[in-house]
Amino acid sequence: HKYVYDFAEGNRDLKDLLGGKGANLAEMTNLGLPVPPGFTITTEACQAYLATGREPDGLAGQIEAHLESLERGMGRRLGDPHDPLLVSVRSGAKFSMPGMMETVLNVGLNDRSVVGLAARAGGNERFAWDSYRRLIQMFGKTVCEVPGEEFEHALDEAKRARGTTSDLDLDADDLRGLVDAYKKIFLKHTGRDFPQEPREQLDLAIRAVFESWNAERAVLYRRQERIPADLGTAVNVVAMVFGNLGPDSGTGVAFTRDPASGAQGIYGDYLANAQGEDVVAGIRNTVPLQDLERLDKRSYDELLDIMARLEGHYRDLCDIEFTIERGKLWMLQTRVGKRTAAAAFVIAGQLVDEGLIDLDEALHRVNGAQLAQLMFPRFQLDHDFEPVARGVGASPGAASGKVVFTSARAVELAAEGEAVILVRRETNPDDLNGMIAARGILTSRGGKTSHAAVVARGMGKTCVSGADEIDVNVPAKRFTVAGQTVHEGDVVSIDGTTGKVYLGEVPVTPSEVVRYFEGTLDPDEADDALVGAVHRIMTHADAARRLAVRANADTGADAARARRFGAQGIGLCRTEHMFLGDRRELVERLILARTDTERADALAALLPLQRDDFVEIFREMDGLPVTVRLIDPPLHEFLPPLEQLAVDVAVAQERGEDVAKEEALLAAVRRMHEENPMLGLRGVRLGLVIPGLFAMQVRAIAEAAVRVTRDGGSACPEIMVPLVGAVQELETVRAEAEKIIAEVVGDSGVEVLIGTMIEVPRAALTAGQIAEAAQFFSFGTNDLTQMGWGFSRDDVEGAFFWRYLELGIFGISPFESIDRDGVGRLVRIAAEEGRAARPGLKLGVCGEHGGDPESVHFFHSVGLDYVSCSPFRVPVARLEAGRAAV
Ligand code: ADP
Ligand code: MG
Ligand code: MG
């Protein structure tokens, strides 16, 4: 089995096998660029080592053979006492994991070859001893786990003894002394002398790189970045070139464009007389790359030339590492460079202009997560703002405002035009109005899937959750943090991206991209390259995509916003909120009704209110489809909580007040109490049990549609029945609804579709039957996930999701991104069997997954017609639907 590849044998497409660094070193070698010779040990060798705890058979021999050929090519032997070949041993996984794994430089130096190195460098002893002390330091730290600070201290000590703060002032004797000190440290921590045998150094370093794949920080990083845990790293053995040979040598890093803004032009740092890691470590101040032109014009010109070639070759921004050894330029690394979200869009646009890529390719160069980032306002943190607490960045954005502790107060102050931050220990459904009114939400409990986090993300509202240093005292209207007390009305600032909390107001800049989407910023007039690039790429995504994008919106205002953001309809209009607020009393009347007449009266009172709501939404969505979901949650959710009510009744009785009404209410609450409300009397079950309830809603929808149409508009309602598990449920509701619709619509020309939500696993599995009675399906993937897994969403997060994520049972919460294998399979089956029974059946998805990039790609692949998500996510879904299609 081949475990070792010479650089000349690889290419950039072999990242799986050679890692990113190795594949790109090979690519540069084959482009004829000046890369020091070397070879790459494959990720397969690493996987085998990690699986068995020892090097696979044949590896040692292959390394030997490649080393010999390297030695022949260089005309030197590894660690030769007179003229040593030195090598670096560098990690390099398929996906770049910056700073996570290990690299050892100057392998091959020992007490004898250090002398040879000095001689070969024209008697430059300082250089040789500097290289040797670096080897012991890096080898000790990365291979033998000697605490790095010990070496740092010894180095500081040497500088102090010399009366300097710069390592450049240390002379050969100082460095020779430092080598002795380092060796003692090495011996003390490892119980053995620093290995003098070059091949042993090499083998131990290779092994350490293999093992660094499983270093704790690497494991954490992979989990966060969702990099699979079993890829392993390749190891690159590269002939050393020396940037620390004197002032005519040096090392640097560069980008072919500005990775922050995307602006054209080269960016980079250079450090004379240094080895590579000094630049990153910030040991000395670097100079801007442009200064190299003055220092070494020939190398500078060659570098620029190479950078232009690399960009042309990779057709993208590249970052590089290079070293100049006595006026000779060497390329040590390149890769397609990381960049900010803004730069990703700008560069993609530029590359199209430059003819390097087409618009389809430009779509692949950006993603929805980046677009989402660009849509949030940002803090300008140029001043010294120190966070006082840090929680989970639960819903990104930046918000400043006056602290309030109750929903009611949030609504009050917001009505006066104040920006407020709602601070709670945790939020619950009663906080909804306050959350809507607030600029941001801060909680001291809960993680990324807590109520606050989930609801805030849905609303596109900034939220920091689980900031547990904050001690919230709601009755006293204050919280304490870091020894300070913050009262209602004091200003705080929260960053929902980083989870940081600041006292006082941090200035915020609104997102230009949102202003563009809202139509208040003309892309032609904006002198901002970003908005122009976003405009072009979004236009192309819209032209390319097959999935339509709708929004979830319950009010006219939400609908209007969604439309501005490009929604092509409403995929989910929930009717629950229409039962809240002042209308609660009507709902109570409905629930307490003892006779048909009482019930009919209550419903008749609700009808015009519902109708008005729908009129408003249909007007905003003129000409576009609006899917209205009939009432879904159990009715007792609209009643007061049992305990509270029981106490109130008891207290009132004690006082001798007349409590007949309250007692009836209490009895109703008791009667309707459910052990598992999620699996109880809700959705279609409610419609079948409470006479007239669905009928009232259907009538309100149909009447609203007729009114809007008569007024010259165009309403396209789609009535959606929730929680159906059997076709008979739908048929029953549908028969009644069709009668009402026919009666209301008459000859107005209004067409009302009737369909169902697919959110119960049984519905997915009997989709062929259900399709006979449904004009459309909308996948309710939130409930489908809950019931598919048997999770109650509100209960699982705090209880055990963290553990599941830790154990890798989930890569990501299945509520955030659709579980393709399980819940996704239900969607696929239902889509196929539904369409087989009724060709052309309209298929959509509502629920948070509709705005999740990964999930959008899945929904595209199973052939849905549209996704629906919160208004704020609509542009993200448009972009991802475009990316899925090209
Ligand atoms: P990382 O992945 O952390 O950047 P690298 O393997 O690229 O680690 O190496 C760390 C530093 O050492 C870089 O600055 C690199 O340029 C430098 N370096 C690596 N190999 C050599 C070499 N053969 N000669 C000179 N410098 C090298
Ligand atoms: Mg590097
Ligand atoms: Mg549901």
| DSSP-based helix, strand, coil % in the chain, nearest 5 | 50, 20, 30
Check residue 256 and give left, alpha or beta (phi > 0: left; psi -120 to 50: alpha): alpha
Q: 225 pLDDT exceeds 90?
A: no
At 144, the amino acid letter reads C
For 394-426, the DSSP string reads: EE--EEEEEEE-SHHHHHHHHHTT--EEEEESS
Give the CA angle between residues 216, 221, 223 to the nearest 5°.
Answer: 100
The answer to whether residues 223 and 298 belong to one domain is no
Q: Which residues are catalytic?
A: 451, 846
Interval between CA 444 and ligand 3 midpoint (Å): 28
Say what the ipTM of the complex is: 0.97
Rg from Cα positions in the chain: 33
Residue 231 domain flag: yes
Q: Which ligand is nearest the CA of 785, by number?
A: 3
Q: What is the pLDDT of residues 230-245, one digit of tens each?
A: 999 999 999 999 998 9
The answer to whether 18 touches 42, Cβ cutoff 8 Å, is: yes
Testing ligand 1's pocket by substitution, the residue of 21, 28, 303, 333 carrying the most ligand atoms inside 8 A of its CB is 333
Residue after which a domain boundary falls, among 239, 273, 304? 239
Q: What is the pLDDT of residues 41-56, one digit of tens each?
A: 999 999 999 999 999 9
Find out whether 522 is annotated in a ligand binding site. Answer: no
Q: Count how many Cα atoms sit within 13 Å of the Cα of residue 491 in the half-sphere of its side chain.
A: 10
Interval between CA 321 and ligand 2 midpoint (Å): 6
The answer to whether residues 500 and 549 belong to one domain is no
The answer to whether 484 touches 502, Cβ cutoff 8 Å, is: no
Please identify, by atom number, the ligand 1 atom nearest to the C-alpha of residue 99: 3
Domain of 455, CATH number, reads 3.50.30.10
Interval between CA 765 and ligand 3 midpoint (Å): 17
- Nearest CA residue ID for atom 6, ligand 1: 90
Q: What is the pLDDT of residues 372-423, one digit of tens each?
A: 989 988 888 766 788 999 998 888 889 999 999 999 999 999 999 999 999 9
The answer to whether 196 touches 231, Cβ cutoff 8 Å, is: no
Testing ligand 1's pocket by substitution, the residue of 89, 134, 332 carrying the most ligand atoms inside 8 A of its CB is 332
Q: 754: helix, coil or strand? A: strand
Q: What is the number of domains present in the chain?
A: 4
Interval between CA 24 and ligand 2 midpoint (Å): 12
- Nearest CA residue ID for atom 15, ligand 1: 276
**Which of 289-298, 661-670, 759-768 has the weakest average pLDDT?**
661-670
Residue 366 domain flag: no
Beta carbons within 10 angstroms of residue 145's beta carbon: 11
Q: Which ligand is nearest the CA of 99, by number?
A: 1
Determine the Cα–Cα distance for residues 237 and 22; give it in Å rounded to an integer.
9
Q: 281 pLDDT exceeds 70?
A: no
Interval between CA 242 and ligand 2 midpoint (Å): 15
**Which of 290-304, 640-654, 850-864 has the weakest average pLDDT?**
640-654
Interval between CA 92 and ligand 2 midpoint (Å): 9
Q: What is the mean pLDDT of residues 418-442?
A: 90
At 83, the amino acid letter reads D
* Residue 165 confidence (pLDDT): 87
The H or E element spanning position 233 is strand 233-239
* Residue 509 confidence (pLDDT): 83
Q: What is the mean pLDDT of residues 613-628?
A: 97
Q: What is the pLDDT of residues 700-756, one digit of tens each?
A: 999 999 999 999 999 999 999 999 999 999 999 999 999 999 999 999 999 999 999
Interval between CA 842 and ligand 1 midpoint (Å): 56
Q: What is the pLDDT of residues 69-84, one digit of tens each?
A: 999 989 999 999 999 9
Q: Which ligand is nearest the CA of 629, by number?
A: 3
Residue 814 domain flag: yes
For 596-614, the DSSP string reads: HHHHHHHHHHHHHHHHHHH
* Residue 662 confidence (pLDDT): 85
Q: What is the mean pLDDT of residues 794-820?
A: 80
Question: Average per-residue pLDDT in the chain?
Answer: 92
* Residue 812 confidence (pLDDT): 82
Find out whether 273 is annotated in a ligand binding site. Answer: no
* Residue 660 confidence (pLDDT): 86
Q: Are strands 462-465 and 440-443 parallel, antiparallel or unpaired?
A: parallel
* Residue 280 confidence (pLDDT): 64
Q: What is the mean pLDDT of residues 618-640?
A: 93
Here the tokens at position 363 are 């779509």
- Nearest CA residue ID for atom 3, ligand 1: 99
714: which DSSP letter?
A: -
Q: 251 pLDDT exceeds 90?
A: yes
Please identify, by atom number, the ligand 1 atom nearest to the C-alpha of residue 279: 14
Q: What is the pLDDT of residues 867-883, one digit of tens each?
A: 999 998 999 999 999 99
Determine the Cα–Cα distance for residues 568 and 553; give it in Å rounded to an integer.
12
Q: Which of 447, 390, 461, 453 is nearest to 419 (CA)?
A: 461
* Residue 659 confidence (pLDDT): 85
The answer to whether residues 688 and 804 belong to one domain is yes
Interval between CA 631 and ligand 1 midpoint (Å): 62
Residue range of the domain that includes 270: 250-336
Please identify, by atom number, the ligand 1 atom nearest to the C-alpha of residue 238: 23
Domain of 627, CATH number, reads 3.20.20.60
- Nearest CA residue ID for atom 26, ligand 1: 276
Residue 125 domain flag: yes
Sheet holding 233-239, edge to edge: 4-6, 38-41, 233-239, 87-93, 103-107
Determine the Cα–Cα distance for residues 745 and 738; give it in Å rounded to an integer.
10
Determine the Cα–Cα distance for residues 572 and 563; give it in Å rounded to an integer.
14
Interval between CA 276 and ligand 1 midpoint (Å): 6
The answer to whether residues 752 and 838 belong to one domain is yes
Q: Which ligand is nearest the CA of 102, by number?
A: 1
* Residue 282 confidence (pLDDT): 61
The answer to whether residues 235 and 258 belong to one domain is no
Q: 677 pLDDT exceeds 70?
A: yes
Burial letters for 696-734: b for 16+ Cβ neighbours within 10 Å, e otherwise? bbbbbbbbbbbbbbeeebebbbbbbbbbbbebebbebbb
- Nearest CA residue ID for atom 10, ligand 1: 277
The answer to whether residues 566 and 619 belong to one domain is yes
The answer to whether 488 touches 478, Cβ cutoff 8 Å, is: yes
**Which of 47-56, 198-207, 661-670, 728-737 has the weakest average pLDDT?**
661-670
Q: 436 pLDDT exceeds 90?
A: no
- Nearest CA residue ID for atom 8, ligand 1: 103
Interval between CA 333 and ligand 2 midpoint (Å): 6
- Nearest CA residue ID for atom 19, ligand 1: 88
* Residue 526 confidence (pLDDT): 67
Q: Which of 74, 77, 14 is nearest to 41 (CA)?
A: 14
Residue 359 domain flag: no
Helices 693-710 and 596-620, interaxial angle, to 10°? 40
**Which of 4-18, 252-266, 787-801 has the weakest average pLDDT?**
787-801
Interval between CA 67 and ligand 2 midpoint (Å): 22
**Which of 208-217, 282-291, 300-309, 466-475 has the weakest average pLDDT?**
282-291
The answer to whether residues 487 and 597 belong to one domain is no
Q: Which ligand is nearest the CA of 19, by number?
A: 1
Q: 6 pLDDT exceeds 90?
A: yes
Please identify, by atom number, the ligand 1 atom nearest to the C-alpha of residue 276: 14
At 808, the amino acid letter reads G
Find out whether 780 is annotated in a ligand binding site. Answer: yes
Q: Which ligand is nearest the CA of 781, by number?
A: 3
Determine the Cα–Cα distance for residues 649 and 659; give it in Å rounded to an integer.
7
The answer to whether 719 touches 737, Cβ cutoff 8 Å, is: yes
Residue after which a domain boundary falls, among 216, 239, 262? 239
Here the tokens at position 609 are 């209110």
The answer to whether residues 44 and 191 belong to one domain is yes
The answer to whether 89 touches 209, Cβ cutoff 8 Å, is: yes
Residue 203 domain flag: yes
Sign of the four-CA dihedral 434, 440, 446, 452: positive
Where do the H-state alpha helices sit in 717-760? 727-745
CB under 6 Å to ligand 1: residues?
36, 88, 90, 99, 103, 105, 238-241, 275-277, 321, 323, 332-333
Testing ligand 1's pocket by substitution, the residue of 235, 270, 321 carrying the most ligand atoms inside 8 A of its CB is 321
The answer to whether residues 306 and 455 belong to one domain is no
- Nearest CA residue ID for atom 24, ligand 1: 240
* Residue 449 confidence (pLDDT): 62
Q: 164 pLDDT exceeds 70?
A: yes
Strand partners, 85: 78
| Residue 838 φ then ψ, to 5° | -140, 90
Determine the Cα–Cα distance for residues 354 and 359; give it in Å rounded to an integer.
12
* Residue 271 confidence (pLDDT): 92
Residue 344 domain flag: no
Sign of the four-CA dihedral 429, 434, 439, 445: negative
- Nearest CA residue ID for atom 13, ligand 1: 276
Tell me the residue ranges of DSSP E strands in 391-503.
392-395, 398-404, 420-424, 440-443, 462-465, 471-473, 478-481, 484-487, 491-495, 500-503
Q: What is the pLDDT of residues 461-476, one digit of tens each?
A: 899 998 999 999 999 9
The answer to whether residues 711 and 752 belong to one domain is yes
Find out whether 707 is annotated in a ligand binding site. Answer: no
Testing ligand 1's pocket by substitution, the residue of 277, 283, 324, 328 carrying the most ligand atoms inside 8 A of its CB is 277
Find out whether 783 is annotated in a ligand binding site. Answer: yes
Give the CA angle between residues 806, 812, 814 to the nearest 5°.
Answer: 120
Domain of 233, CATH number, reads 3.30.1490.20
Grade residue 510 by pLDDT with cuts at 50, 70 and 90. Answer: confident
The answer to whether residues 604 and 498 belong to one domain is no
Beta carbons within 10 angstroms of residue 287's beta carbon: 17
Q: What is the pLDDT of residues 515-573, one digit of tens each?
A: 999 888 887 776 678 999 999 999 999 999 999 999 999 999 999 999 999 999 999 99
Here the tokens at position 264 are 């054209």
Check residue 526 and give left, alpha or beta (phi > 0: left; psi -120 to 50: alpha): beta
Residue after which a domain boundary falls, among 239, 267, 287? 239
The answer to whether residues 217 and 273 belong to one domain is no
Q: 601 pLDDT exceeds 90?
A: yes
Strand partners, 325: 328
Residue 527 domain flag: no
At 159, the amino acid letter reads K
Strand partners, 478: 473, 487
Here the tokens at position 618 are 């249909």
